[in-house]
Structure 1
């Protein structure tokens, strides 16, 4: 499927959705059409019951180089549409830029980002919307907005501290320095590295998609609320989930397959 003037392409095969930022000639730089396409793709996947896992990747030489230079020129000249204009709310996000990153946390299926080349600014924040990030060792990542006199405004200030700690989040956002894929893993900015992050992401997502779909969706939701709700509420959510799963047709089928394979 194609969205937004060929800005994003995606397909679903055997329960695995592969979403590709598809503007390789611009290193998948973000413009208004790309924001719209990302939100459209993510919003559709929110409702796809046939999807067990999602891979988010970039075509060409990079994952995403961040905001298109033309958008910066529009800011300078105070002309053109604002990419952060309020829209109908998507989850907790009201602006298109935030929604392009936040929508991936709303997709009930686990999302794995495959990062190669560069993930700068908004591109990094889109990757942070995924549940798991697999990066090439020589990938370059940067919270780059400060270099343009801006702040991370696509959920980055809210997501980064949870991943790397407040002090590291401030250091990255206050300097805009680049980190390699290897350092990103050490900092907690990425999950793990792989020489071929796309192949690794597809393999991992395929494994996840092969598990009980209801169970994997509950795992994502339960881990996401940890620390964001009170302990009693979190423990009750665990019990609600396990109560829904035990003895369900899907869980019984999993048990039967496991026992048959012993």
Structure 2
């Protein structure tokens, strides 16, 4: 992983930060590589139970660094599926959804274009009311192509998505909350996200990961498949050591001690 993204940990929580503050964390080729590498690293960290994703400096992410991407755009391979369902650019947003543990995005400043698609890959988004968002691609004569379409369909109405995409207009955190893009608002999104991550991290990690798999499945499958999946996930958890420990800890009014 390069220095475009940093990962530190506090207990079972990973603190992941886009680290190009001088450019408002705009996405250049190195940032693409850094985010993809960070996702790969997190996927292998079995004892991480929640991830907080944020940006250093004045913003979460200003979107593509058009100057740096101009020289490489023509040679960018967007046809090859390099990461399961996704190509390389899509992985920086879609990859957060595929991680086994929940991801919470903490948003301040701006999240434009690719930055907005990245936060959309998180399970939960906490933002400042004055944060600014945009599906920005039409401003550059482009379509959203970093997994946004696949991610937004579970967040907002179709007509809302079309209006925001066709106009590329900006909207603030208050509107983002009303439209469904943001989970909740906070004056300090990073602190709120960290508090929530630590709250999640003290729950049975098997149950949390199983729940994420179910919600990921729900977007594409019919009711019959989801009902079967619920039963299968529960069967894998019932009477396991971690599930029994959660029950004992609740009865004894103490913190649970899980095996990851």
TM-score for both structures, normalised by structure 1: 0.93
Q: Is 1:187–2:179 an aligned residue pair?
A: yes
Q: Is the 8 A contact 2:58 2:108 kept in 1?
A: yes
Aligned twin of 2:29: 32
Q: Is the 8 A contact 2:29 2:69 kept in 1?
A: no
Q: 5 Å matches for 1:217-232?
A: 217-232=209-224
Aligned twin of 2:82: 89
State which drifts further: 117-126 or 236-245.
236-245
Corresponding residue SS for 1:204: helix
- Which residue among 97, 100, 107 is the counterpart of 2:92? 100
Corresponding residue SS for 1:93: coil
Q: Is the 8 A contact 2:51 2:103 kept in 1?
A: yes
Distance 1:188 1:80 in 2: 32
Q: After superposition, give the CA deviation of every residue in 1:174-193 in whole Å (9 maximum; x if it has no partner).
A: 00111101110000011111
State which drifts further: 79-88 or 149-158.
79-88
Aligned twin of 2:11: 14
Distance 2:76 2:124 in 1: 26
Q: 5 Å matches for 1:170-181?
A: 170-181=162-173
Q: Is 1:130–2:127 an aligned residue pair?
A: no
User: How many residue pairs align between the two structures?
Assistant: 254
Distance 1:173 1:81 in 2: 23
Distance 2:84 2:125 in 1: 21
Q: Is the 8 A contact 1:91 1:106 kept in 2?
A: no
Q: After superposition, give the CA deviation of every residue in 1:196-252 in whole Å (9 maximum; x if it has no partner).
A: 000000110111111110100011111111141121211111111111111100011
- Which residue among 160, 175, 178 is the counterpart of 1:168? 160
TM-score for both structures, normalised by structure 2: 0.93
Distance 2:216 2:54 in 1: 22
- Which residue among 58, 61, 65 is the counterpart of 2:62? 65
Distance 1:49 1:61 in 2: 32
Q: Is 1:53–2:46 an aligned residue pair?
A: no
State which drifts further: 49-58 or 232-241.
232-241
Q: Which runs of 5+ in 1 are unaligned?
A: none
Aligned Cα root-mean-square deviation (Å): 1.5
Report deviation, 1:12: 2.1
Once superposed, which parts of structure 1, at least 4 consecutive aligned residues long, lie more than 4 Å away? 83-88
